[in-house]
Amino acid sequence: MTKAADTHAPRGPLHGVRVLDLTRVLAGPFCTLLLWELGAEVIKVEAPGHGDDTRLFPPYQNGESVYFAGVNRGKRSIALDLKSPADRVIFERLLAQADVLVENFRPGTLAKLGYAPTDLEARFPQLVIASISGFGQTGPLAPLPAYDLVAQALSGMMSINGPEGGEPTRLGVSMGDLGAGMFAAIGIIAALYGKQQFQRGARVDVAMLDSLVMLLEQALVRGLATGEKQRATGSRHSVITPFDAFRCADRWIVIGCANEKLFAALARTLGRPDWTTDPRFDSMLARAAHHVALKAEMEATLGQAPAAQWLAALEAAGVPAAPIHYIEDVINDPQIAARNMIVGIDDPEMGSLRVSGSPIKISGYADPPTRPPAPNYDEARAELLASLGLDADGRATETAGASRPEVW
């Protein structure tokens, strides 16, 4: 049995879906992780010799990459050289039994290997084929390589992030990769639903750049509607005031008031009911125009007492507020624990480690406190070959031609 063997239990609503995962690093593996968390079986096809690059990414535990383990847990690994005739036979048998193929090569790479999406559609009409790339399969930038940093720069995301008046700043997480992975998972699930309805596969094309443009949300909408050139505003919301980070006597907190009722409650709690009749602060537009003055007055009051005191008072008044947590605070937060957002992995090689749980909770399916480990490189080869009717050398056995039952 392989280290990440599928128990065939109905872990989620995608139970019975087989995903053939040609992806590496982050955007693609994050997409297939989401599908795995929703119940799909994920077969990770890795390059011969070394596998996914992230197997070498720090940090390490007992010589194994924690980075790789976190985003590839539960998957099964087989190493295939898609230029090798013998391995192509294996790959094509896997394709015949798969519901979904996910790849994040540079556009055109699969075609050079003889697996252009149009050819795959003709040969494997049941497949949902998902391609994740920096710029998508079309457009003038399509052939170019991209990292999250490049996508964040081109999307405008960096221009609205960072300290007010400061230099453009990359988000602290790879949102281009993560956003593309999430949108690809949504597209795949929609295509699977369409497959059930219309009995045909589909192609899903998701770009990091496109994903970040959609995630610009109101910044883009405002630019389209008014021509406004938004710039970085630090922690402050560009429209809603107060909606920012504020310094108390001992630490930073955030306070958000998106309507007049909440602002009045805030003013009363801070002992400044006069703010509601001050012409600088008596409307959303006025507060936005005088945000510097309002923040100065708020911090003059907040600085007189510790954060815990103010947070208790704000909570009692129904005003949204919270302390600013550091990662160590998140790890130990009782709310995070209650939502099972830190789960364990018991890995034979790495030992025990903890990773993020799934934010998607669906009734009728368990959300266990542990997850299976990420696979060792190529460890599922023998089991997968046997299931395909092939021996260890890739030759057909007596069971050749056995097909996987159609589920999706």
Question: Angle formed by the axes of helices 175-198 and 208-215, to 10°?
Answer: 100
Kindly report whether the peptide bond that precedes residue 242 is cis, defined as omega within 30 degrees of 0.
Answer: yes
| Domain spanning 18-216+334-387, CATH architecture | 3-Layer(aba) Sandwich (3.40)
Q: Where are the beta strands (DSSP E) in 119-276?
A: 128-133, 202-207, 243-247, 252-256
The Cα–Cα gap between 156 and 112 comes to: 33
What are the extents of the domains in the chain?
Answer: 18-216+334-387, 243-247+252-323
Residue length of the chain: 408
CB atoms near residue 10 (< 10 Å): 13
For residues 343 and 357, the answer to whether their CB atoms sit within 8 Å is: yes
Tell the residue number behind the tokens 């922690």, with chain if given: 235
Using alpha carbons only, how large is the chain's radius of gyration in Å? 25
For residues 53 and 18, the answer to whether their CB atoms sit within 8 Å is: no
| Sequence letter at residue 116 | A
156 CA to centre of own chain: 19
237 is catalytic: yes
3-state secondary structure of 175: helix
- Residue whose C-alpha is closest to residue 358's, from 349, 347, 370, 375: 370
Give residue 141's pLDDT: 94
Contacts of 308 (CB under 8 A, 6+ apart): none
The Cα–Cα gap between 203 and 191 comes to: 8
Token couple for 93: 């048998």
Q: Mean pLDDT per segment of 10 residues, for the chain of length 408 residues?
A: 50 96 96 97 94 93 93 96 94 95 94 93 94 95 93 94 90 95 98 91 95 91 82 87 97 97 97 97 95 97 97 97 96 96 90 94 95 94 92 70 54
Q: Which CATH number fits domain 243-247+252-323: 2.60.40.10, 3.30.420.10, 1.10.340.30, 3.30.1540.10?
A: 3.30.1540.10
Give residue 399's pLDDT: 54
Please identify which of the residues 237, 290, 291, 325 carries the catalytic annotation.
237
Give residue 4's pLDDT: 44
Token couple for 269: 């709690």
3-state secondary structure of 47: coil
Helix (H) or strand (E) holding 112: helix 109-112
Q: Where are the beta strands (DSSP E) in 272-393?
A: 321-323, 342-347, 351-356, 370-371
pTM to 2 decimal places: 0.90
Give residue 333's pLDDT: 96
For residues 82 and 113, the answer to whether their CB atoms sit within 8 Å is: yes
Helix (H) or strand (E) holding 265: helix 260-269
> Nearest 5°: phi and psi at 238?
-75, -15
Tell the residue number behind the tokens 């008596």, with chain if given: 282
The Cα–Cα gap between 258 and 43 comes to: 46
For residues 181 and 27, the answer to whether their CB atoms sit within 8 Å is: yes
